[in-house]
Structure 1
Amino acid sequence: MAVVFFIVILFCDQAVKVYIRSSFLPGESLSVIPHVFHITYVLNPGAAFGIFANQRAFFIAAGVLLFCLAVYFYPRLRREGRWLRFSVASLLAGAAGNLIDRIASGLVVDFLDFRIWPVFNLADIAIVGGVIGMMLVILFPARFDADAERRRQHG
């Protein structure tokens, strides 16, 4: 199921980005809730908040490394609880969504604009959600990883 979750997140991220690229001009903004939420087409050359701008090779290498590590650790991950598997799937789907943008153009398509925060995208939400999920599993394993603990006790 985590693989399906990964595919759904990646598909939604890319589908919305295709829509944004085909419906907006860079910098164009549509007010959804005035002064609160807008759809704003931004091409981001960096990471969160635009840091490390124009470091395309670095971000592509980091994304590829992340996927190589995920493939390497996949057999161990399969034995872990579903919360960890879904958290990692979310993180990887978000990283893949932004990696596709970086490979294609060197720029990440951002569009969610709450006016009090830099513009971001669905992939960014997936990355943050995946990291938070992994932190919860690490900090509270009995609460979030009970199914893995039961499997370890029974065999």
Structure 2
Amino acid sequence: MLYIIVAFLSVLADQIIKWWTVSHIELYETTFNNPVLSLTHIRNNGAAWSILEGKMWFFIIVTLIALTILPYILYKNKDQTKWLTIGLSLIIGGTIGNFIDRVRLGYVVDMFQVEFFNFPIFNFADVSLVIGVVCIFIYILFFEDKKKEEI
């Protein structure tokens, strides 16, 4: 149940932030500008760094496959360390958050812009995905071998 809550909260936060951005910031407008982070409302027709821009059918197919496989992997490993299970839950939540935009709007709403170095503008779903991947890397580096030794 914890994993469903984590994924749900990730999707909910992502969609609320995107709704607020679209409602309060004009397209391509930048607000809350400071040396660390600003909010810039953009539309992303691709994946990270706008790769494969305009290939929405590809993203929908890959997302549907991922949303079939990831919950299965989570279910099969539900008794593993929280690093793996929370990581998978965050990845599922981030995937669903961006999938909602792609299906509903035909693009993904991005808003967070890092100001102290050049980095693509991103959204909360992307943050969930990255944190989820980091959690899984921690699991692989520090916990996976211990499970194999126990077997």
Residues 1:124 and 1:42: Cα distance change in structure 2 (over 3 Å): same
Matches within 5 A, 1:54-69: 54-69=54-69
How big is each residue's C-alpha offset from its partner over 1:41-75, in whole Å with a ceiling of 9 and x where there is no partner?
01000111111101101111111100111233343
Code of the residue aligned with 1:130 in structure 2: it is: G
Deviation at 1:130, TM superposition (A): 0.6
Matches within 5 A, 1:1-155: 1-33=2-34, 35-115=35-115, 116-141=118-143, 149=147
Unaligned runs of 5+ in 1: none
Unaligned runs of 5+ in 2: none
Deviation at 1:96, TM superposition (A): 0.7
Deviation at 1:81, TM superposition (A): 1.8
Give the distance between the partners of 2:74 and 2:60, measured in 1 at CA: 21
Give the distance between the partners of 1:45 and 1:118, measured in 2 at CA: 13
Deviation at 1:19, TM superposition (A): 0.7
More displaced 10-residue stretch of structure 1: 64-73 or 118-127 = 64-73
Deviation at 1:36, TM superposition (A): 3.4
- Output the aligned Cα RMSD: 1.9
State the TM-score, normalizing by the size of structure 2: 0.88
Indicate conservation of the 8 Å contact 2:74/2:85, yes or no.
no
Report the count of equivalent residues: 146
Give percent identity, aligned residues only: 27
Residues 1:37 and 1:75: Cα distance change in structure 2 (over 3 Å): closer
